[in-house]
Chains A and B, each alone.
Chain A
């Protein structure tokens, strides 16, 4: 079974631009969550989607948004990029009702 796939792996953007990151969950998994990892703040929860609906949202500004498609693939978007948005963005998928989350390799975003 293929794991969680995130694309692209690396991205360099300029301040003020916007970016879209993609996540394909494990086949059959309907829940997708996103996390931001930085050296200073560690791993922080961004949001979770289940069956195309956002179920849970972390404490991030409205510049961070996401969506989930009918095939469970998810995208997250960050608008008006700031230097502080430089981070590793991790996507995780879970089957419904399952306890553990399976993570992708992450997308390393660098804002210059």
Chain B
């Protein structure tokens, strides 16, 4: 079984401040991990993915995440928040690329950016 925990439902930061969105996962096998972003009334856009290569993953829009197996974590960071980063962020886990390839999502975190 696989699961994802995203602590807190809402994070608020000032423009230019560090963004840190937390994600912990549970998986019985080495996982594939993803961060998606969703803007209002839109679908999900892939920010970045971890697929057992480098543990520090760089994504789009200046975001990056670090896979830490010992902590079962995959936290998302961005050094300097921009107003356009305000959105909902989802962490997701997938165990296999074959027959069991469903994504399991966390509850999501709403990021607000204050001017």
Q: Do A and B come from one complex?
A: yes
Residues of A within 8 A of B (CB): 4, 6, 31, 33, 35, 42-43, 45, 48, 55-56, 58, 90, 92, 94, 97-106, 108
In contact, A42 and B46 (Cβ under 8 angstroms): no
How many Å from the CB of B23 to the closest CB on chain A? 14
- With A35-B105, A42-B108, A48-B102 given, name 18 new contacts (CB 8 A): A6-B43, A31-B101, A33-B101, A42-B105, A42-B106, A43-B90, A43-B103, A43-B108, A45-B103, A45-B104, A56-B101, A90-B43, A90-B44, A94-B101, A99-B32, A99-B94, A101-B103, A104-B43
CB-based contact B97/A98 at 8 Å: yes
B98 within 8 A of A: yes
Residues in B whose Cβ lies below 8 Å from that of A108? 41
B51, CB-defined interface residue at 8 Å: yes
Provide a sorted-by-A list of 5 A–B residue pairs whose CB atoms are within 8 angstroms: A31-B101, A42-B107, A43-B103, A55-B99, A103-B44
Residue of B nearest to A95 (CB): B97
What is the interface of chain B mostly: helix, strand, loop, or mixed?
A: loop
Partner of B102, one of A56, A97, A103: A56
Q: Count chain B residues whose beta carbon lies closer than 8 angstroms to a beta carbon of A.
A: 25
Q: State which of B34, B42, B102, B104 has its C-beta within 8 Å of the C-beta of A100.
A: B34
Q: How far is the CA of A43 from the CA of B34 in the complex (A)?
A: 14
Across the A-B interface, the 5 shortest Cβ-Cβ residue pairs = A43-B105, A103-B43, A103-B44, A45-B102, A105-B43
Query: Which residues of B come within 8 Å of A, CB atoms?
Result: 32, 34, 36, 41-46, 49, 51, 90, 94, 97-108
CB-CB nearest in chain A for B42: A105
Closest residue of B by beta carbon distance from A41: B107
* Chain B residues with CB below 8 A from A106, complex form: 42-43
Q: In the complex, what residues of A have CB within 8 A of residue B43's CB?
A: 4, 6, 90, 103-106
Contact B104 A97 (CB under 8 A): no
- What's the least CB distance linking B104 to chain A, in Å? 7
A43, B41: Cα distance in complex, Å = 14
